[in-house]
Amino acid sequence: MRGRLSRRFAAALMSGLITAALGVTFAAAAAAAPIPVQDPVPIGPNEYFSGFINGHPPGTAVIRVICPGPVNTGHPAGNQTIEVKTAQPTSTFDIGYTGSAGRKITATLAPAATTTILASFTSFFVPKKIPTSITVPCSGTGTVVFAPSPPSSTAKSAKLPVKFLNIGT
């Protein structure tokens, strides 16, 4: 009887140790798993959307600007992103609508003496780099307009306020 009890105890102990080890392994694997990335979603008619800069949701976003010396304009620093994502319908100015014909969204900087295109999108959830070749103010505020195209009577642009932050050279 004692032999059977010892074997049962040993088997139960071993089972518990294996279960604990597997639990730790699975927990470690889950903790190390990368954050899932949203697949691109083609832009189509009758969809609500929002614009994002540097991952910042609607509200005032910051564009870092390199302004060497005493100048009033500079170029955006590298590795900054701009993106459009699907959104829930609301009446706020930062939500756009592709309208009955929209299949593309173009992000432009306003107000500007000339049209400054930051990026064009044919899919949601595809971040693009803000071009470092464009000229922007060293400080102050502006608006990035995310305009659907082709235009239609039901389309509405999303507007994202931006603040330009001089980070020097």
**Is there a single domain that holds both residue 101 and residue 54?**
yes
Instruction: Name the percent of the chain lying above pLDDT 70.
Output: 76
Instruction: Name the percent of the chain lying above pLDDT 90.
Output: 62
**Is there a single domain that holds both residue 72 and residue 26?**
no
Whole-structure pTM value: 0.76
pLDDT band at 27 (very low <50, low <70, confident <90, very high): very low
**Is there a single domain that holds both residue 12 and residue 95?**
no
Quick: pLDDT tens for 77-131: 999 999 999 999 887 778 999 999 999 999 999 877 678 999 999 999 999 999 9
Per-residue pLDDT at 3: 54
**Peptide bond connecting 111 to the previous residue in cis, omega within 30 degrees of 0:** yes
**Is there a single domain that holds both residue 65 and residue 148?**
yes
**What range defines the domain where residue 12 resides?**
1-33
The CATH number of whichever domain residue 96 belongs to comes to 2.60.40
116-to-54, 105, 107, 148 alpha-carbon distances in Å? 18, 14, 9, 16
For residues 118 and 116, give the distance between their C-alpha atoms in angstroms, rounded to a whole number. 6
Tell how far CA 79 is from the center of its chain: 13
Quick: pLDDT tens for 48-81: 999 999 998 767 899 999 998 788 999 999 999 9
Q: What total of structural domains would you count in the chain?
A: 2
Tell me the residue ranges of DSSP E strands in 54-153: 61-66, 73-76, 81-86, 95-97, 104-110, 116-121, 123-124, 128-129, 136-137, 140-149
Please report where in the chains the tokens 């235009």 appear, as a residue. 151
**Is there a single domain that holds both residue 2 and residue 74?**
no
Q: What 3-state class would DSSP assign to 20?
A: helix
Sheet holding 95-97, edge to edge: 95-97, 48-53, 81-86, 128-129
Q: 7-11, 49-53, 132-136, 155-159: which has the minimum mean pLDDT?
A: 7-11
